[in-house]
């Protein structure tokens, strides 16, 4: 008779033993600044698991520096990516990706037409001409800003491989950076700043989640269209990282909750980040295919070069082109030269002449025939540059390469010199006289040779300045000019 009672008691005791409520735990988290938008979800996490995540937010780059220097005393880190940490040689902690968001261009619907399906090169080309003004977070602090620099520079190098230090010796970022109308300390702040300045700027370079959230916020007078640069994507996967191994149990609970289908859905709906769980049905706007990710640079050195280029943004650039116009240039050669200038003025991608740049044209044959300086202040000036050589005449009084270069050195200021010639020097100064006069050359000099130009002499002079010779005898002149654009 008493058996059922006993059984009931035993079952209750056993049941009580096996289902324990988890201990409440509070963890400090060094987090990327944009994760402020997760705060409401963290309340649910706490309710369901007893784990409270206290976010201490700052830019991803700053946070990675702090972690690498051993200055952070947090239990966990939750950054847009752990790559910056890896580049600093830190032994990566246990990391679990929680959500995804690609870096994109959010551009006003009215301006988006020309940029639909665009590449980073198209974006840079428009920015260089002053036709596209955007906001972008500061890459010295923010992961989204750094991802933008990496995306643009990798696409500009065009090798299809990760950037190596030798790929970034010439600065291909200035055209793109010409378009930066404002900076901000983080991915979320760039969105807020865009709202304040939306009447003056056209676009924002930010995470897809930032752009979609701005559209949903009701704070924009004109919605933004998302452009996924077709020459490559930088994707953030927001790993939750365990810094203190003794917090493992609470970390596991938080990860399990964050990766559950319901949390993944909530993340997607509230923050417009893509779920990592393939089973969670994505919203229509997040089903957009995002193309191929760019390979990520393998050294910190590359990132440092990109930051140095960023710091140069806004500096007035000056280039002196010393252009052979002797009669041997007639035909295909002069046509190639004119085409190169037309392209760099109108649609040169990363290498387009840009607003803020001063381009000096020194045309020569037996003597200097013309010196013309064009300061690019707006798109119309680029059109002038594009046509500057269209009707320039050739002369048959010889080829005075070194005298023309001597002229260029006297007007170069702090710029660089690009010399293009197809002949041997047969007038004016000799190479020895020239080098004797300029033992300490005032400007780095790049020479583009084609036809009969003497490679040895050109090389001797170019090397003396720290520059080099590019051979255009086999390829196109435009490609040769592009090769040295941005070399300083």
Partner 1 sequence: MVANRSTAEPAFAVRRPKTRAIYLRKRYLLPFGVSVAVALAGVIAMLTSGTIALPFRSITVVRAMMASKIVYFQDPEVRRILMSHGVDVQVTDSGGSRQLIRDRQDRVHEFDFVMPSGQASAELIHERFGGRAYYPFASPLVLGAFREYAEALVRAGAAVKQDDEKGLGLYYTLKLDVFVNELSLPGNGAPTKTWAQVDPRVDNRNQVVAQTPNPCDSYSGSAWLGLVAFAANNSVPPNERSAPEVAERIKPVFEIEGLHGSGIGTSFFHPDGRTSAPVGVMYEHQYIAHQFTAVARTGAADTDRVLLYPDAHHRTEPRLIAFSPAGELVGDLVRDDPGLRRRALELGFRLDNKEPTALPHLLRERGLPEPALSSTEGLLPRPDNLEAMIREVGDCPEIRVPI
Site string for partner 1, 268-287 (x = CB under 8 A): ------xxx-xx--x-----
The smaller minimum CB distance to partner 1, of residues 123 and 201, is found at 123
- Give how many residues touch partner 1 by CB under 8 A: 53
Q: Count CA atoms closer than 13 A to 426's CA, side-chain side.
A: 13
Among 26, 109, 161, 308, binds partner 1 (CB under 8 A): 161
Stretch that binds partner 1, among 35-43, 154-162, 357-365, 391-399 (CB under 8 A): 154-162
CA–CA gap between residue 55 and residue 77 (Å, rounded) = 9
Residue 58 DSSP code:
E
Cβ-defined contacts of 112-119 (< 8 Å, 24+):
112/225, 112/227, 115/225, 115/227, 116/225, 116/227, 117/227, 117/230, 118/227, 118/229, 118/230, 119/155, 119/229, 119/230, 119/231
Query: Minimum Å distance from CB 15 to partner 1?
Result: 7
Site string for partner 1, 284-323 (x = CB under 8 A): -----xxxxxxxxxx-------------------------
Among 94, 220, 307, 394, binds partner 1 (CB under 8 A): 94
75 binds partner 1, rule: CB under 8 A: no
Torsion of CA 449, 452, 454, 459, to 10 degrees: 20
CA–CA gap between residue 379 and residue 370 (Å, rounded) = 24
The smaller minimum CB distance to partner 1, of residues 15 and 439, is found at 15
Could you tell me the sign of the dihedral formed by the alpha carbons of 319, 346, 225, 239, in that order?
negative
330 binds partner 1, rule: CB under 8 A: no
CA–CA gap between residue 484 and residue 450 (Å, rounded) = 15
CB 136 within 8 A of CB 104: no
Residue list 201-240, contact with partner 1 (CB under 8 A) = 231-233, 235, 237
1 binds partner 1, rule: CB under 8 A: yes
The smaller minimum CB distance to partner 1, of residues 88 and 460, is found at 88
87 binds partner 1, rule: CB under 8 A: yes
Residues 6+ apart with CB under 8 A from 483: 470
Query: Minimum Å distance from CB 92 to partner 1?
Result: 6
User: What is the arrangement of strands in the sheet containing 51-58, beginning at the earlier edge strand?
Assistant: 51-58, 25-32, 76-78, 239-242, 94-97
Among 132, 163, 211, 478, binds partner 1 (CB under 8 A): 163
Where along the sequence are the contacts to partner 1 (CB under 8 A)?
1, 4-5, 7-8, 10-15, 17-18, 83, 86-87, 91-92, 94-95, 97, 100, 102, 158-164, 231-233, 235, 237, 245, 248, 274-276, 278-279, 282, 289-298
């Amino acid at each position: 008779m008493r058996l059922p009672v006993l059984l009931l008691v035993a079952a209750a005791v056993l049941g009580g033993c096996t289902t324990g409520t988890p201990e409440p735990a509070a963890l400090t988290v060094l987090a990327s600044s944009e994760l402020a938008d997760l705060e409401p979800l963290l309340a649910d996490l706490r309710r369901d698991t007893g784990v409270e995540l206290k976010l201490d937010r700052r830019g991803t780059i700053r946070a990675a520096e702090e972690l690498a220097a051993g200055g952070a005393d947090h239990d966990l880190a939750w950054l847009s990516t752990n790559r910056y940490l890896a580049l600093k040689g830190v032994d990566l902690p246990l990391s679990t990706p929680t959500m995804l968001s690609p870096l994109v261009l959010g551009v006003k619907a009215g301006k988006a037409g020309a940029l639909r399906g665009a590449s980073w090169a198209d974006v840079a080309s428009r920015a260089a001409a002053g036709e596209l003004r955007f906001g972008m977070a500061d890459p010295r602090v923010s992961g989204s800003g750094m991802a933008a620099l990496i995306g643009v520079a990798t696409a500009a190098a065009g090798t299809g491989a990760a950037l190596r230090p030798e790929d970034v010796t010439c600065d291909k970022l200035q055209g793109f950076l010409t378009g930066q109308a404002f900076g901000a300390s983080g991915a979320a702040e760039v969105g807020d700043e865009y709202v304040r300045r939306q009447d003056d700027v056209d676009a924002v370079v930010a995470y897809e989640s930032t752009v979609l959230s701005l559209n949903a916020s009701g704070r924009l007078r004109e919605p933004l269209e998302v452009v996924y640069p077709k020459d490559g994507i930088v994707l953030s996967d927001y790993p939750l990282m365990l810094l203190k191994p003794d917090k493992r149990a609470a970390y596991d609970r938080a990860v399990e909750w964050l990766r559950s289908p319901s949390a993944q859905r909530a993340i997607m709906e509230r923050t417009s980040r893509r779920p990592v769980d393939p089973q969670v049905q994505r919203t229509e706007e997040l089903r957009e295919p995002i193309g191929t990710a760019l390979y990520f640079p393998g050294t910190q050195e590359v990132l440092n070069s990109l930051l140095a280029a960023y710091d140069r943004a806004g500096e007035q650039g000056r280039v002196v082109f010393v252009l052979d116009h002797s009669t041997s240039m007639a035909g295909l050669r002069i046509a190639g030269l004119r085409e190169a200038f037309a392209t760099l003025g109108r649609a040169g991608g990363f290498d387009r002449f840009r607003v803020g740049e001063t381009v000096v044209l020194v045309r020569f044959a037996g003597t200097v025939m013309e010196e013309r300086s064009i300061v690019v202040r707006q798109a119309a000036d680029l059109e002038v540059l594009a046509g500057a050589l269209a009707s320039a005449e050739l002369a048959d009084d010889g080829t005075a390469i070194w005298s023309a270069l001597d002229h260029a050195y006297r007007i170069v200021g702090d710029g660089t010199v690009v010399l293009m010639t197809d002949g041997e020097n047969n007038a004016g100064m000799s190479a020895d006289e020239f080098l004797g006069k300029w033992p300490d050359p005032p400007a780095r000099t790049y020479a583009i040779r084609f036809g009969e130009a003497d490679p040895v002499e050109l090389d001797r002079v170019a090397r003396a300045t720290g520059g080099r010779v590019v051979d255009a005898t086999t390829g196109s002149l435009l490609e040769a000019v592009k090769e040295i654009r941005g070399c300083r």
